[in-house]
Amino acid sequence: MPEDYEPVDQRTSLRPEEAMEAHEVFEVIARLAPDFRDALVAVDVAGLSYREAAKLLGAKEATITSRLFRARGQVAGGMDRARSGVLEEKG
Amino acid sequence: MGDHELHPTDEAAAERGRAIVQAAVAQTRAPLALRERIEADRTARRPARRRWALGGSLATGAIAAIVAVVLAVGGGAGTAPTVAQAAALARLGPTASAPAVDPAHPGLLRRSVEGVTYPSWQDQFTWKASGAREDKLDGRRAVTVFYDDPAHARIGYTIVAGKALDEPSGPGRWQGSEHYVVLKRGQRTIVTWRRGGHTCVLSGPASVPSERLLALASWSGTEVS
């Protein structure tokens, strides 16, 4: 990443601690298993419907629902661990 | 991780996760811009009798772009660790004894990472090295030395091996040739800077004022000989 890289969440109105929190959430999302991450990004970040996400990702709607449910739970758990100072290291 | 059956007891966590992601997306420009792009495309392409309106290629590209943003902002596989990750090490506590003071250089400890040596603050600031730990962040060595003050407050000084990490945005201060950035993360205050081409991170509890952390961070230990 170049030195002059501008963070995506750099907003003038954003307090540093808020920027860190958004960054932490994306950090947790980035660490999800790819299938879970893609389902969550498609629906919760991109705003697609379950049907659209299923078609796009080549999975059944029920599978997307399940992956999304698990991914959201893992994000909540990941944030809890991040805030309590427990570091998730990649293997 | 694979697909699993849904458990009703996980519903609260899933709902909380959804709210967390929603809040993060609301703070972040790029995903919002991509969402707007998708919405615009959805509206433009919606035919009268066809509900499936999202162009496949555009949607695929947009999802790939958003995933790229997530990986860039969050640090995905193969990317460099972040200052936040390095700072988190200070909360894990020591796993080894403190390095000794270098008798030849009383302002330094006998521990360094790729040429950057940890300071000994005990004479100048009454913070005494109390322990250490060594971790791997995305395969890179990160060494943390802990310092305690007489009031038993504990701070962690982490140096990450390899190329310097991206500097986070936040209020900064120049001191000499070094730029110090101060961040708040929960109940912790974090100061990060670069020394010898490496990222250094000082993390302490809120009871330690940021000015104190800045004073410690900017004292390299080479002032004493």
Chain B residue at shortest CA distance from A81:
B88
Same-domain check for residues B32 and B119: no
Closest partner residue to A30 among B62, B75, B92, by Cβ?
B75
Q: Round to whole Å and give the CA distance between A42 and A56.
A: 9
Shared domain for B203 and B128, answered yes or no, is: yes
In a domain, A65, yes or no: yes
Q: Does A29 sit within 8 Å of B70, measured CB to CB?
A: yes
- Contact flag B168-A56 (C-beta cutoff 8 Å): no
Chain B residues inside the 8 Å CB shell of A1: 72, 80, 166
Question: Is the pTM of the predicted complex or chain greater than 0.90?
Answer: no
Query: Is residue B222 in a domain?
Result: no
Same domain, B182 and B132: yes
Which of the residue ranges A73-77, A83-87, B96-100, B216-220 would you say has the lowest mean pLDDT? A83-87
Domain-embedded: residue A7: no
Q: Of B30, B49, B74, which residue constitutes the final position of a domain?
A: B74
The set of residues, in sequence order, having a beta carbon less than 8 Å from that of A29 and lying 6+ positions away, is A37, A40, A41, A45, A71, A75, B21, B70, B74
The Cα B189–Cα B223 span in angstroms is 25
Q: What is the mean pLDDT of chain A?
A: 71
Domain count for chain B: 2
Instruction: Tell me which residue in A36, A51, A56 faces B63 most closely, judged by beta carbons.
Output: A56
- Put simply, the chain A residues between 51 and 90 with a CB less than 8 A from any chain B CB are 51-52, 55-56, 63, 66-67, 69-77, 79, 82-83, 85-87, 89-90
Whether residue B108 sits in one domain with residue B61? no
Q: Are residues B167 and B145 part of one domain?
A: yes
Chain B residue with minimal CA distance to A5? Answer: B166
Domain CATH number, residue B113: 3.30.200.100
Q: Does B78 touch chain A (CB under 8 A)?
A: no
Token pair for B110: 């006998």
- pLDDT above 90: percentage of residues in chain A: 19
Question: Does any domain span residue B108?
Answer: yes
Residue B198 shares a structural domain with residue B110: yes
Do B210 and B114 lie in one domain? The reply is yes
Residue B181 domain-assigned? yes
Q: Give a yes or no: residue A53 inside a domain.
A: yes
Q: Point out the domain boundary residue: B33, B55, B74.
A: B74
Tell me if chain A has a CB within 8 Å of the CB of B163.
no
Q: Check whether residue B47 and residue B103 sit in a common domain.
A: no
Decide if B154 is inside a domain: yes
How many folded domains does chain A comprise? 1
Q: What is the mean pLDDT of residues A18-29?
A: 71
Q: What is the CATH number of the domain that holds A50?
A: 1.10.10.10
Q: In this structure, is residue B118 part of a structural domain?
A: yes
pLDDT digit string (tens) for B163-193? Answer: 999 888 778 888 888 899 998 877 789 999 9
Q: CB contact, 8 Å: B206 with chain A?
A: no
Q: Residue B204: give the domain boundaries.
A: 83-217
Report how far residue B99's alpha carbon sits from residue B211's, in angstroms, rounded to the nearest whole number.
25
> Could you tell me where the beta strands, DSSP code E, fall in B128-197?
128-137, 140-148, 154-160, 172-175, 178-185, 188-195
Q: Which chain A residue lies closest to B9 (C-alpha atoms)? A: A73
The answer to the question of residue B28 being in a domain is: yes
A38 part of a folded domain: yes
User: With contact defined as beta carbons under 8 Å apart, do B106 and B224 qualify?
Assistant: yes
Enclosing domain of residue A74: 34-83
Closest residue in B to A6 (Cα–Cα): B169
Q: Is residue B2 part of a domain?
A: no
Q: Does A42 touch chain B (CB under 8 A)?
A: yes
What's the per-residue H, E or C state across B76-97?
CCCCCCCHHHHHHHHHCCCCEC
pLDDT at site B34: 59
The shortest C-alpha distance from A30 to chain B (Å) reads 5
Please report whether residue A42 resides in a domain: yes
ipTM beyond 0.85?
no
Q: Which of B53, B74, B95 is the C-terminal boundary of a domain?
A: B74
Statement to judge: residues B202 and B134 lie in one domain:
yes
Do B42 and B97 fall into the same domain?
no
B29-77 residue pLDDT tens? 555 555 666 666 666 655 544 434 444 555 566 666 666 666 555 544 4
